[in-house]
Structure 1
């Protein structure tokens, strides 16, 4: 595990700063760029058609591969739209679950092995129906068939999934920005940075710190900062929930995160005043088939809510999950989003 973590750290450094490995992989990035351009051309020329599903669709995605904070933003967006009288539903690929040919639809407490960890977390926190399938248009149709009251769909990821027509595109980025600016595998980007000129809004997740250099948002693209604020902590063994100041006293505290950017979770904890004696960064969507907790010498272990939906730790009273919520720098952002959904010119 230590060797793989070191390899991930080295690759992330190359993706941020460049280096010999990045340049060695650069020809493959040119191939990726050509494939991306050909795909977009096919839709622009009408050779392939995006499917409309009958209700407005908001795609929340990213350019930087891995996690940037989309999940808490989607949960916040779902709550905000419900407060404004809408009935949102969520579609997602269901990464990590073997979905099969038929989309799966569920609400409330979902099995992450069946739906994927992020859809399971979104369903629990947002309280809206969720459909999962690699073909998101098919997921959306099935969702609307089973929940005909849904009047707006939020697509978890899917910025590059052009088969689903969308009315609003929102990119969530973090302090890493566009990294070295190169496409996979020489860099971290799924699409060229110029793609930002075509989206409607860019949300910058600042919870990992504000030291990164980020490109200026293109003219006409709405920009807003997002912070992830710790709401509470809860113990996996029995579900007991406490406010952060009431976290049990501990001599040694460790943090474990199987998300796209574990360092961001650790930074969020430190900003909240928690002293971390050890940190363990795991691969994104880590399935916890092998529990890392037994090997950790700590009196208290903190994990993300995303990890908690699949952690096999009910018998370890040391493990507590940290619940966060998204706070935006612009309090009118979701009013703007609703305006876009109604097809009016935004303020």
Structure 2
């Protein structure tokens, strides 16, 4: 059973004696210690081609996948053969396996790899070095790894950490800095930033600028600001939306900001499968409002085939504000 992301994780100033937090804090100490030891004891493998890692410091919901897609687009525009790599979270295949959109399902390879395989050659592998080597043998000149900042098994040429830059309504990307499960952090902020070559702050299109206080945390590292923007208008007419992503409330907010006539919205756990009963319930809810159903691309690829014709996917994309600067960094990494 998958659980939804606790929204209270992202409250910056929480009561210090909250019972749930008091129970979870000792577990978070163990989590942080195990992560630190794993990284310290590792001997990273060089796959023979540059590896660009797009990771994060928190548990889901920052927008890594759109950044991976955009980096692949920028590399392709420069004639660089880039292959993607992921653990394939949520899929049953261990790999290494190249994702085939005509043969694989999200249950096989995970939702994000299936979505990205339409843009670039994409591999899934629980063993990241084996996956990177398979990509290199298949002609990859660079491997773009979706997630893996806390996975030390593969030698990284360039490590980018993506940060959710949305700080309004009392939300803070790192909460109060507590490590999972007491908070959203995969590891302490200082430790994660120490291994990062650069930070990508991802903003929604309707937020004027990044919070200067947030940017100050990354002093000493290049910081690139990217915008998550609609790749197409939302469906016309009344809509009932749903999403099973790290922060589903951001999808609801983005749909409204894009002009969607959103009548209702249902959040679901990240990467969760949609059974027939759930989809029928959503369809009945849409009928109540005489509305259509809309969801994210990531959710859409997890839908049974017969439901894809009944539900619209709303695509979004990431675009860097300073495309020339990020392109120069990627070019330098590929040439190294």
* Shift in alpha-carbon separation, 1:228–1:157, aligned structure 2, 3 A: same
Scaled by the length of structure 2, the TM-score of the pair is: 0.86
> 1:264-279 to 2 correspondence within 5 Å?
264-279=250-265
Q: Deviations over 1:49-95 (max 9, x none)?
A: 11000000011111110121111111111111011110000110111
Matches of 2:67 and 2:9 in 1, distance apart? Answer: 28
Q: Deviations over 1:149-195 (max 9, x none)?
A: 21000011011110111010011121242112011111111111002
CA contact (8 A) 1:25 1:186 kept: yes
Alignment correspondent of 1:184: 180
Alignment correspondent of 1:46: none
> 1:94-113 to 2 correspondence within 5 Å?
94-100=88-94, 102-109=95-102, 110-113=104-107
* Shift in alpha-carbon separation, 1:198–1:219, aligned structure 2, 3 A: farther
Alignment correspondent of 2:22: 23
Alignment correspondent of 1:123: 117
Alignment correspondent of 1:283: 269
Alignment correspondent of 1:198: 195
- Using the TM superposition, give the Cα deviation of residue 121 of structure 1 relative to its aligned residue in structure 2, in angstroms: 0.2
* Shift in alpha-carbon separation, 1:56–1:219, aligned structure 2, 3 A: same
Query: Among 3, 7, 10, which residue is 1:12 paired with?
Result: 7
- Using the TM superposition, give the Cα deviation of residue 320 of structure 1 relative to its aligned residue in structure 2, in angstroms: 1.0
- Using the TM superposition, give the Cα deviation of residue 198 of structure 1 relative to its aligned residue in structure 2, in angstroms: 2.7
CA contact (8 A) 1:288 1:311 kept: yes
Alignment correspondent of 2:316: 324
Q: Deviations over 1:314-342 (max 9, x none)?
A: 35865211011111121221222212332
* Shift in alpha-carbon separation, 1:173–1:280, aligned structure 2, 3 A: same
Alignment correspondent of 2:237: 249
Alignment correspondent of 1:225: 225
Unaligned runs of 5+ in 2: 167-171
Scaled by the length of structure 1, the TM-score of the pair is: 0.83
* Shift in alpha-carbon separation, 1:319–1:50, aligned structure 2, 3 A: same
* Shift in alpha-carbon separation, 1:16–1:208, aligned structure 2, 3 A: farther
Matches of 2:327 and 2:245 in 1, distance apart? Answer: 26
CA contact (8 A) 1:209 1:267 kept: no
State the secondary structure of the residue aligned to 1:134.
coil
* Shift in alpha-carbon separation, 1:143–1:170, aligned structure 2, 3 A: same
**CA RMSD across the alignment:** 2.4
Are 1:263 and 2:263 matched, yes or no? no
